[in-house]
């Protein structure tokens, strides 16, 4: 069984470094032994949060990165910049970034750049809609294969894949995804990874659920959905909810 990991994606929140530090401290009080916890925060807050304190099981993550080492890329941040402020994880290919034009090719380059500096990529994949013919499976397969195409197969175990069904998240969500649908997609993603590496590698790669999980359904997604954890948006901005989901993950691994 892969070690559970709970990742918070703060997006463009909170509104001040004071609020960010307060939230980070509150989350830190909820840590549970045996569960990895990551906070992916906006760039301006990372250095301040590092000073509060991180551990092997409580790490900092970034919400994005550029694939070039340096240069004339106004507003962008490099992997070495992230590493210098203690970042250990980084989200790439998030649906919100893809909606702004991030392509599979760009995601692959970011994964390669992160892998070189030993920052763990959190690769987001997922379909915008579900069709009855199953073409959405091809979309997810293409994202998975392309995202991993530039790194050695031996490095697959050092990435995290976050399945985020775009149709089930955000204010325009059609409905909530079910644990059964999550289970189906995690099996499918493992098959995609197995096809380009091997079965052992596929099973050792952590695949988490990036939909709108909550305290109420987290247990079901871990137990029946077979998720190795979560990439949480809204729930990560509430220290109490975030902490409760971490505890649910710890209960799941003790069974």
119 within 8 A of 83, measured Cβ to Cβ: yes
Q: Residue 178 gets which letter from DSSP? A: P
| Contact (Cβ atoms closer than 8 angstroms) between residue 108 and residue 149 | yes
pLDDT of residue 255: 44
Q: Are 61 and 87 in contact (CB under 8 A)?
A: yes
H or E element at residue 194: helix 179-196
pLDDT score at 254: 45
Question: What fold, for 5-254?
Answer: TIM Barrel (3.20.20)
Give the separation between CA 232 and CA 208, rounded to whole angstroms. Answer: 10
Active-site residues: which are they? 94, 164
Give the integer Cα–Cα distance in Å for 235 and 243. Answer: 9
Q: Which residues of the chain have pLDDT under 70?
A: 252-255
CA 181 to chain centre: 18
10 neighbors 42 (Cβ within 8 angstroms): yes
**Report field, pTM of the whole predicted structure over 0.85:** yes
Mean model confidence pLDDT for the chain: 95
Q: Are 175 and 168 in contact (CB under 8 A)?
A: yes
* pLDDT confidence of residue 58: 97
Domain boundaries, the chain: 5-254
pLDDT of residue 131: 84
Which residues of the chain form beta strands (DSSP E)? 5-9, 36-41, 58-62, 87-92, 120-125, 160-163, 206-209, 229-232
In whole angstroms, what is the distance from residue 194 CA to residue 170 CA?
31
* Interatomic CA distance for residues 212 and 233, integer angstroms: 7
Assign 3-state DSSP to the chain and report helix, strand, coil percentages, each to 5. 45, 15, 40
């Amino acid at each position: 069984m892969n070690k559970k990991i709970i990742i918070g994606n703060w997006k463009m929140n909170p509104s001040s470094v004071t609020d960010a530090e307060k939230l980070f401290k509150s989350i830190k009080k909820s840590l549970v032994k045996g569960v990895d916890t990551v906070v992916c925060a906006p760039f301006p807050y990372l250095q301040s949060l590092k000073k509060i304190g991180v551990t092997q099981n409580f790490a900092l993550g970034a919400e994005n990165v550029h694939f070039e080492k340096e240069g004339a890329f106004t507003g962008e941040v490099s992997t070495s910049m992230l590493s210098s402020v203690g970042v250990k994880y980084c989200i790439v290919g998030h649906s919100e970034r893809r909606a702004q034009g991030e392509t599979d090719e760009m995601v692959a380059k970011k994964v390669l750049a992160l892998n070189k500096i030993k920052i763990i990529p959190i690769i987001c994949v997922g379909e915008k809609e579900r069709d009855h013919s199953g073409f959405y499976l091809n979309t997810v397969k293409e994202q998975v294969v392309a995202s991993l195409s530039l790194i050695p197969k031996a490095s697959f175990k050092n990435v995290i894949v976050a399945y985020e069904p775009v149709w089930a998240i955000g204010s325009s969500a059609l409905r909530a995804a079910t644990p059964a649908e999550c289970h189906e997609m995690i099996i499918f993603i493992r098959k995609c990874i197995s096809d380009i590496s091997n079965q052992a590698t596929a099973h050792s790669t952590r695949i988490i659920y990036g939909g709108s999980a909550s305290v109420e359904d987290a247990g079901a997604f871990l137990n029946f959905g077979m998720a190795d954890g979560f990439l949480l948006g809204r729930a990560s901005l509430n220290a109490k909810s975030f902490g409760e989901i971490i505890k649910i993950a710890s209960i799941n691994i003790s069974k």
